[in-house]
C-alpha cells in the first residue's frame, strides 16, 4: 500500500471508515500510521468526525483509538469482501466496537447558528465513531462498503452512487490514474 495524502483519507463517506484511514490495522499501520501520540489524535479527531471539535487526548486515548481502529478495519475489509459482521471470525472485533459504542457519545448542542459539543472528550469521540460503525455495519448499507479498485491504494469507501458501481476512493487520483493506464494499454495494443 502506498502512503495517502491527508485529503484523500477523509473522503470515505463515513467517519468510521475515515478512522481506519488514520493507520488501519496493525500490519497496515506500519506503512501509514499518522496517530503517533495524543497531539496527533487531538488534531485528527475533528477530521475523522467532520466536526468542529476541540478535545485533549492522552496516551490511553491513543491506545483506545488503535484498538477500535483495528476492530473497525477488520470488520470493514471483511464486509467489503462480502462477509457478514456475524462471521464468527469477527466476533472479537464486533465485541470491541460494541464495548466502545456503549460509552457516552459526543453531545451536540445548538450554539447560536452553529452546533457545538458539550465538554467533548476523546473517549466520547471514539464512542461516536464506534456508534457510526454499529450503524453502518448493522444496516444494509454495509453491502456498499468497498475497497478502492486501484491496485496500489487500499482505502475504504462507502459507495453512495445510485447504481452502486463506484470503484475508486477518489476520481481525481485513483480513478484518473486507472483511466490513464487503460488508455495507454489500448494505445499500446494498436
* 2-34: pLDDT as tens digits: 444 455 567 788 999 999 999 988 888 777 899
Q: CB atoms < 10 A from the CB of 20, how many? A: 28
Q: List the chain residues with pLDDT less than 70.
A: 1-9, 172-173, 175-183, 185
d(CA 174, CA 190): 25
pLDDT of residue 2: 40
pLDDT of residue 7: 58
pTM for the model stands at 0.88
Q: Are 60 and 121 in contact (CB under 8 A)?
A: no
Q: Where are the alpha helices (DSSP H) in the chain?
A: 6-9, 15-20, 26-32, 38-49, 59-80, 91-101, 122-137, 176-188
* 158-177: pLDDT as tens digits: 999 898 888 888 776 686 66
pLDDT of residue 136: 98
**Upper half-sphere CA count for residue 106 (Cβ side, 13 Å):** 24
Q: Are 40 and 69 in contact (CB under 8 A)?
A: no
pLDDT of residue 176: 67
pLDDT of residue 182: 63
Instruction: Write the Ramachandran bin of 164: left for phi over 0, alpha for psi from -120 to 50, otherwise beta.
Output: left
Task: Specify the residue for cell string 496516551.
Answer: 59
pLDDT of residue 1: 39
Q: Are 142 and 134 in contact (CB under 8 A)?
A: no
d(CA 88, CA 84): 9
CA-atom Rg of the chain in angstroms: 18
pLDDT of residue 4: 43
- All structural domains of the chain: 6-188 (1.10.3300.10)
- Could you tell me which residues come within 8 angstroms of residue 94 by beta carbon, excluding any fewer than 6 positions away? 71, 75, 85
pLDDT of residue 80: 96
* Pick from 6, 18, 4: nearest CA to 156: 18
10 Å CB burial of residue 182 (0-12, 13-18, 19+) is exposed
pLDDT of residue 151: 84
Task: Specify the residue for cell string 488501519.
Answer: 24
pLDDT of residue 27: 83
Q: Are 168 and 178 in contact (CB under 8 A)?
A: yes
Amino acid at each position: 500500500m502506498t502512503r495517502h495524502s491527508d485529503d484523500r483519507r477523509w473522503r470515505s463517506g463515513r467517519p468510521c471508515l475515515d478512522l481506519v484511514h488514520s493507520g488501519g490495522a496493525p500490519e497496515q499501520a506500519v506503512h501509514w500510521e499518522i496517530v503517533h501520540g495524543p497531539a496527533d489524535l487531538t488534531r485528527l479527531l475533528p477530521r475523522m468526525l467532520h466536526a468542529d471539535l476541540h478535545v485533549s487526548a492522552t496516551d490511553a486515548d491513543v491506545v483506545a483509538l488503535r484498538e477500535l481502529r483495528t476492530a473497525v478495519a477488520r470488520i470493514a475489509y471483511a464486509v467489503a469482501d462480502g462477509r457478514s459482521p456475524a462471521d464468527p471470525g469477527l466476533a472479537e472485533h464486533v465485541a470491541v466496537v460494541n464495548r466502545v459504542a456503549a460509552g457516552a457519545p459526543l453531545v451536540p448542542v445548538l450554539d447560536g447558528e452553529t452546533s457545538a459539543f458539550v465538554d467533548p472528550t476523546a473517549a466520547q469521540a471514539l464512542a461516536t465513531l464506534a456508534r457510526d460503525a454499529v450503524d453502518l455495519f448493522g444496516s444494509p448499507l454495509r453491502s456498499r462498503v468497498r475497497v478502492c479498485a486501484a491496485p496500489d491504494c487500499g482505502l475504504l469507501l462507502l459507495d453512495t452512487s445510485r447504481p452502486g458501481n463506484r470503484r475508486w476512493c477518489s476520481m481525481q487520483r485513483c480513478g484518473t490514474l486507472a483511466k490513464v493506464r487503460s488508455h495507454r494499454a489500448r494505445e499500446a495494443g494498436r
